[in-house]
Chains A and B, each alone.
Chain A
Amino acid sequence: MVQMPESKWSNTSGGGGGRTPFGPQIQFNPQWIKWVVMAVVALWLLSGVYIIGPDERGVVRRFGKVVRITEPGPHYRLQRPIETVNKVKVEKIRRLGIGFRTVSPGPPARYKFIEAESLMLTGDEQIVDAQVIVQYQVQDPNKFLFNVKGLERPNGALMDAAEVALRQVVGKRPIDDVLIGEKLQIELDIRELLQRIIDRYDGGVKIRVVKLQTVRPPKQVAKAFSDVVSAKEDKDKVIKIADGYREDVLPKARGEAQKIIEEALGYKAERVERAKGDVDRFLAVLKEYKKSKDVTRKRLYLETMEKILPGIRKIIIDPEVGGNILQFLPLEKGGEK
């Protein structure tokens, strides 16, 4: 038993290094070991290949120092202890919310509201409930990776800064401006302030959009606020009704006014026409009268008398008999005195 390996050792002593105590079937071959070493080295070298996606940049560090930023495509880096690569999605629009967290992206998306973040003081010492969404993008991958610790973490630098900006901007305005008027301006102001804060940390981030998500009065006062809205509607309604009254009354009044004038016009025309008629009649009569004055006059007189006298009480006295008419009157009246 002892001799066997001994003889084997002596057989292959020329190869050196390779010492196998297991059976003679494994033939130690320098050619073979060369291939193995080459394969291992090749694999090791190949492992330095990496691919940068179309929306990414690669940041390569050699012994911790950034030496190059690589564009999309395949690249090569030296092995592990020497060079490392970090891939950063620079095209991606990143998003963070203040006042709420996305529980599940849905659809339908579900959110958890965080009042401690969303309730804030306004410029006139009232309280408003505001949530904001910030969209940002990596502008400088190097700064983004290495300048700020915990930049994107929950309650990290970005979130803190966004919260500061939101509160500072809202704090400058009275509640009515925040709720109704100046949404766009507020968004711009927050964006500008947030960018300024992040730039001070040199965070390599570009703030794209700041959007006010919901801005509303806190629920403790929501009823009073919505009553203001309905009061406004009440106001409009009452005015509309009054306008309705106006639109009802005025046309009728105009109609009545027109009627009064038309009646007067009718009266005027009637008066004139009647006068003309009377005059025509008079002139016609006059024309005939002029032809035979005395007869006509007499006839007219008599005709009138004929008409009058039958209807009335008459006392006929002879002026030669009784000079005073009055003395006959009591007889007629039957003792009236």
Chain B
Amino acid sequence: MSHKMIITIVVVAAAILVLYLATFTVDETEQVIVTQLGEWVRTVQKPGLHFKIPFIQTVHTFEDRVLEYDAAAAPIITSDKKHLVIDNYARWRIVDPLLFYNKVGNVDGAQARLDDIVFSEIREELARHTLTEIVSVNREQIMEDVHGQCDDKARDYGIEVLDVRIKRADLPGDVTHSVYDRMNAERQRIAKKYRSEGEEEAVKIRAVTDKEKMILLAESRREAEKLRGDGDANAIRIYAEAFEKDPEFYGFVRTLKAYEKSLTKETTLVLPSDSEFFKYLSPAK
């Protein structure tokens, strides 16, 4: 009984040990290659539990996630001879672990290799474009081109480059100052423009106002003269209609009235003694 138990324990322990040595797990985030005495046997990219021959087969584990490559910011020159400081990054993944293992070894080695590939491609591609194209017009297209070329080259190392992107494209420090100067000048221009536009508009409003005032008054004066004319005409008609009834008497009365008005103190009137008025002054007649 006791011997049996010891044997059982030993057997179980041995089984566990063998199982431990003969299996390996591949995580969702990993991929592995299995080598047998230094020689590649197989590549395992499926996660889960796998078997190997203990002692003579070795497992090398690699990342299966999307990894980061972040370069230090570096100056480049655009096709229109402007300087830019480019801070770019790339995302990449190991697609062929064996190739990767043979050519670059590990992630650090890959970083160095990507540095060579990505930076030279970027510098080369950006040198073909103007600053405006890089910053504004077709940054995405330029970066897709860079990405394509980098991906082609990285495949030799078992690496897939998912994208290459410009994180920051900034002007160097001294150029930044002149940009600020330009921006200030631009804003001062706009401010001046607004103020002048205000003056322009105000002067226009005043001028139009004065014009409208003059027109208004002129129109009313014209209307007024017409009214006065109407009044005069009416009066003339009224007078004429009445005086037509006896022009001779009107002439008489009106003449008398005119005498009254025109013969003032300064007048010297020479009267013949035989005039109507003096008819009774010389009774001899």
Contacts and interface: CB of A to CB of B under 8 A. Distances in A.
B267 A312 contact: yes
Contact of B256 (A157, A235, A238, A300): A300
A291 interface: no
Interface residues of B, number: 113
A145 to B, nearest CB: 7
Contact of A313 (B182, B232, B268): B268
A65 B272 contact: no
Contacts of A163: 167-168
Contacts of A228: 187, 190-191, 194
Contacts of A230: 191
A227 interface: yes
Interface string A305-337: 101110111111111000001001000100000
B170 A282 contact: no
Interface string A217-230: 11011001101101
B264 interface: yes
A272 B238 contact: yes
B213 A250 contact: yes
Interface in B52-67: 63, 65-67
A150 interface: yes
Interface residues of A, number: 113
Given A147-B66, A160-B89, A304-B260, A260 B221 contact: yes
Nearest to A263: B224
A218 B203 CA distance: 36
Residue among B180, B184, B194 with the highest chain A CB neighbour number at 10 A? B194
B47 interface: yes
Given A253-B217, A312-B268, A318-B274, A268 B198 contact: no
Interface of B: 1-2, 5, 25-30, 46-49, 63, 65-68, 70, 89, 91, 131-132, 135-137, 139-140, 162-163, 165-171, 176, 179-180, 182-184, 186-188, 190-195, 197-199, 201-206, 208-210, 212-213, 216-217, 219-221, 223-228, 230-232, 234-236, 238-239, 241-243, 245-246, 249-250, 252-253, 256-257, 259-260, 263-265, 267-274, 276-278, 282
